[in-house]
Structure 1
């Protein structure tokens, strides 16, 4: 069948319209639950700038200097967390935001995302409302910066608030994230919830939240180093179809024991999930990131090339 472009569009509209409603609605609204096989050429390496947390927070390096370092190393993108901008949690001046945006562009770097530190598990409704306002404020910033996703937490504590059960607290989290995604949709920004070994400790925890929010504007920031219970590879594979960005780390936890990440296995999971997009890396622990980041970057590049 040789369809012109306009004919093909009409064909697909008719084909979709003819599908049973159940065939559409039974799927999660989250379009990021991808199918198919991703290819290495569809994957790009980004640097989560938490890797440079110590020099950034101490003033040893500026954000502009870190961007230059990442560009010279060969990264496709960077992911600068909100607290590396002046006056966080208040928003920085627009001229500073646009200066960083211009700097990244001139260096050939994309902005793959940014993120905030929030807590939707607070018992006080007023404080939860303030956390939603924080996320919405930085959603505006993400749009001005050109970041397609904003990373958020469900809650930053491992323990449940006194006198509340997990189901109740999950309800608060779902309601808060639903508000955030509704606002983010108006700005063209995706909210990505990060599993961070806090309120979210397992694949079941994160998938429960994603499915209950049920928004095309919510996906997962898949942090491979933060599944600390059971088999992390099995949990990563389950969550991978819902990921819109990642955090690749040097180590992960197998049955609670910290071991070096099998990057070849991780890349196979990425490929099998059909993921396409940025793969941010993040180095942790002691040591100069100007030495650690290049080493891990080369290891990830090698593993990425192996699935090509």
Structure 2
């Protein structure tokens, strides 16, 4: 499978929110970093008029950049969200994707599985809710925009397959983040192998473990999992990228770098993204050569 690399605007979130950088500048930096497309988060477009959205699309075309779109959560059954309200959210983002020329809109559920451990009936309720929202949205999405559900630290791979099969439409598929399984204390590789055939796009990031010691450092109280840019952490991205390349699927796979480790006033994206794109390209070249051998 051909994998195309891009950058998610979440890599610039803090600076975008502070007004330290504009999306137009992000587009140009992504080109300089070697990215082929920008995954726009709908939150970063909330103040843009229709004419300004059209200008962004024109600039992307001028720079030979593709555009894809991320929406947000479809809602949460436990909080009383209705299927109708979830469909309205999805269709609003799908219409935005259509305007930008994105082939899909990425969405997610509204819960984290670790919050509901011990309450399987609540997890099943969230699964039913997401399935119903996506099924109702599939036939109403404009043009050929697809709705992609991200593996967002919520459902198991088997439950994702149940959701996609339950919806039963080629307009709905998986958005595969290759690192998110670690937040459910799962090995990412089996998850990627299971879900890659259902996914035309996804995120790449990395993670590191940060220990927290007692004062004399005799033992540690625990540790945190901290996200970082691809190539900066301990994830076996070589195996994960290899699993993507080995997947038999029509069309390119759009893999965007999700640089969640960004900070206000810290303009380190160009350097880190350039290194990450080069790192991932090397892994892709090696995996592709291995497939051809």
Give the secondary structure class of the aligned counterpart of 2:176.
Answer: strand
Give the secondary structure class of the aligned counterpart of 1:307.
Answer: helix
Q: Deviations over 1:197-243 (max 9, x none)?
A: 1x33x212322211211211111110112102222111111111111
Kept in 1, the 8 Å contact 2:33–2:273? The answer is: no
Cα distance in 2 between the residues matched to 1:257 and 1:66: 27
Q: How does 1:82-121 map to 2 (within 5 A)?
A: 82-87=42-47, 92-111=48-67, 113-121=68-76
Match for residue 110 of structure 2? 155
Match for residue 196 of structure 2? 240
Give the secondary structure class of the aligned counterpart of 1:273.
Answer: coil
Cα distance in 2 between the residues matched to 1:138 and 1:78: 16
Give the secondary structure class of the aligned counterpart of 1:269.
Answer: helix
2:240 is the alignment partner of 1:266: yes
1:290 to 270, 275, 285: 270
Cα distance in 1 between the residues matched to 2:281 and 2:244: 14
Q: How does 1:177-188 map to 2 (within 5 A)?
A: 177-184=134-141, 186-188=142-144
Match for residue 10 of structure 1? none
Cα distance in 2 between the residues matched to 1:304 and 1:224: 14
Q: Deviations over 1:167-187 (max 9, x none)?
A: 233212111111111212x42
Match for residue 33 of structure 2? 73
Cα distance in 2 between the residues matched to 1:160 and 1:129: 24
Kept in 2, the 8 Å contact 1:247–1:282? The answer is: yes
2:9 is the alignment partner of 1:49: yes
1:137/1:119 CA distance change after superposition, 3 Å: closer
Cα distance in 2 between the residues matched to 1:171 and 1:250: 31
Give the secondary structure class of the aligned counterpart of 2:92.
Answer: helix
How far residue 141 of structure 1 moved from its aligned partner, in angstroms, is: 1.1
Q: Which runs of 5+ in 2 are unaligned?
A: 210-223, 227-232, 289-293
2:173 is the alignment partner of 1:193: no
How far residue 96 of structure 1 moved from its aligned partner, in angstroms, is: 0.9
Match for residue 220 of structure 1? 174
After alignment, is 68-77 or 139-148 more displaced? 68-77
1:165/1:43 CA distance change after superposition, 3 Å: closer
Cα distance in 1 between the residues matched to 2:191 and 2:30: 30
Calculate the aligned-residue CA RMSD, in Å.
Answer: 2.4
How far residue 120 of structure 1 moved from its aligned partner, in angstroms, is: 3.0
Q: Counting strand residues as a fraction of each chain, which structure ranks higher?
A: 2
Q: TM-score, normalised by structure 1?
A: 0.77
